[in-house]
Amino acid sequence: MRRRTRALGGAALAGALVATAGCGLMEDQDASGVGATVDVATPHLERVRDQVGLDPCPEGAGAPSDRPDALPDLTLPCLGGGQAVNLATLRGPTVITVWAQWCGPCREELPIFQQLADSGTVDVLGINYLDTQPEAALRLLQEKGVTFPSVADPGTRLKESYPWLTGLPLLMMVDSDGSVAYSEFTEIASYEELEGLVGSELGITP
């Protein structure tokens, strides 16, 4: 299987990738650090999540993977309440979109990822990143007809493992052994484009 993990490379390469990210640099989005204190699973948000009709967050596969190319050993809360997810326990085929409600290209992509989730051939998980307005994020999912689950990282804990994560949207794909088969800043324009990437990187035809 051809593996493309350009976003996981060195600093110079990551810098080049950031230039192509739809929402550009994000250092000033949460300059006050308020994201670290945002509660994404209040009783009110749990009710909103129920209204949206989101699927439960995935349970994972047990012990975190010790593969060097696996997702980080990081537990994130489920957006709107539910079971928290340790990213290192996820196994594929799984497609992950890292998004925020303030990111224009992310908003446009969400229905495309929902179409992939509806195909039933791969799991789809969102990571709502650097987003300090969880209710607005949930309402956006409702507006876009999205039901696949998202975990939340308003405090940018993911960046501790991926210091190059300075732009959105980010697309990641996880193989059946837990390895990250694909990671790239990209804007998905159509379902056909996403379908082609899943086929080439995970060997699956949705």
- The three-class DSSP label of residue 50 is helix
Full-model pTM: 0.88
Q: Does 28 have pLDDT greater than 70?
A: no
pLDDT digits (tens, 9 = 90+) for 36-53: 789 999 999 999 999 999
pLDDT digits (tens, 9 = 90+) for 121-156: 999 999 999 999 999 999 999 999 999 999 999 999
- The three-class DSSP label of residue 61 is coil
Pick the CATH number of 6-202 from 3.40.50.720, 3.20.20.80, 3.40.30.10, 3.90.1150.10: 3.40.30.10
Q: Does 110 have pLDDT greater than 90?
A: yes
Domain boundaries, the chain: 6-202
CA distance 63 to 51: 32
Report the residue count for the chain: 206
Q: What is the pLDDT of residue 62?
A: 80
CA distance 106 to 22: 8
CB 115 within 8 A of CB 148: no
